Amino acid sequence: MEKEKGLNRRDLLKAAGAMGGIMLSQNALAAQAPSPGSDKALAGVIEMHVHGAPDITPRVVHEIELAQKVREVGMRGVVFKCHDFITNDRAYMVKLMVPGVELFGGIVLNEPVGGINPVAVETVLKFTGGLGRYVWLPTRDAAYQKAVNANKPDAGGVRVADSTGAVLPEVRKVMKIVAKADVILGTGHIAPKESLSVVKAAKEEGVRKIVITHAMQDPLFMSLDEMKRCAEMGAYIEHCYLSHLMGPAAPAAGFRSRKGVPMDDFVKAIKEVGAGRTVVATDLGQTHNPTPVDGMREFILQLMKRGVTEAEMDLMTRKNPARLLGLEPF
């Protein structure tokens, strides 16, 4: 009877594996019972920033396998991110296959979706399941990121502000949509000074949930003063483990030329800005780095070893993410 109605559960899993170019193992296909609390450091944690397959860029883990691992270690959930396409539709399908975990996605306003595209944002928010909870401003296609990569001031790309620093009208249209839906606006890979303008404009447009995307990651380094100013305006500062894994010792050549963030610098920022306005994530998924689950565990343990308290970690990895994603009252 189930097959007459369409693909059954196993067929869906096999199809998902084929689309991602990854053959799922028999273990990955098997249903796994949740085991909350099996990993003390990760129990109840929500990972807000991961990249999984399928993607244009090779990834260390398929989203289905990642969701299964998240459930296995007792994490509460994860937000899938892709630089080129939406992820909330995939989150919906994976959630059907891996019940017992909270899965979300969103849209990054890069060139493949038309850049600053209010219609695309509206469409994402209409998708089945309502799992599109995150709208990121441009990342790899941001004008600032392209200028840095090309080492010249005007290398094209998607702009969020004009030459005077004023936030563009189309960006404000996106902000209005985000505000009405009460979802998260992420700053992406725009310049630190642009982030300050974006936070101010977003608050003017009624956006309540703003996250400064990996605020200390090269080349997006924000000063402590800039982070504090964003937090005072109501934004959350995101710190990612990937930012620490860059530098001369990085396995991948593309990350060796970028400056890594010392763990003590993360701790200083957390203490000065405040855990109440901070989110801890990984930005992992690269084939040369730890898996997102392993990276999250490492990041949490290293931060706590250097003086971040359990109460602070609870805020940054559980309570703040849950509120931002609409799982708890904001």
* Residue linked to tokens 């209409």: 126
For 33-324, CATH number out of 3.40.50.1100, 3.20.20.110, 3.20.20.140, 3.40.630.30 equals 3.20.20.140
> What DSSP string runs through 52-97?
-BSSSS-BSSBHHHHHHHHHHHT--EEEE--SSS--HHHHHHHHHH
> Do 168 and 130 contact (CB within 8 A), yes or no?
no
Does the pTM surpass 0.95? The reply is no
263-273 pLDDT, tens digit each:
999 999 999 99
- How confident is residue 17, by pLDDT bands cut at 50, 70 and 90? very low
Q: Which residue has the higher pLDDT, 20 or 231?
A: 231
For residue 305, with 0-12 CB atoms within 10 Å meaning exposed, 13-18 middle and 19 or more buried, which class applies? exposed
Structure tokens at 151: 């080492």
CA 201/CA 270 separation, integer angstroms:
25
153-199 pLDDT, tens digit each:
889 999 999 999 999 999 999 999 999 999 999 999 999 999 999 99
CA 299/CA 293 separation, integer angstroms:
10
Structural domain boundaries in the chain: 1-30, 33-324
68-127 pLDDT, tens digit each:
999 999 999 999 999 999 999 999 999 999 999 999 999 999 999 999 999 999 999 999
Reported residue count of the chain is 330
Question: 34 preceded by cis ω (within 30°)?
Answer: no
The distance of Cα 243 from the centroid of its chain, to the nearest Å, equals 13
| pLDDT reported for residue 153 | 86
Structure tokens at 282: 């990984």
| pLDDT reported for residue 21 | 38
Structure tokens at 134: 């995150």
In the chain, the amino acid numbered 141 is D
* Residue linked to tokens 């343990």: 301
209-265 pLDDT, tens digit each:
999 999 999 999 999 999 999 999 999 999 999 999 999 988 888 889 899 999 999
- Expressed in angstroms, the distance from the first to the final Cα of the chain is 43
21-76 pLDDT, tens digit each:
333 333 333 333 444 445 899 999 999 999 999 999 999 999 999 999 999 999 99
93 phi and psi angles, rounded to 5 deg: -65, -45
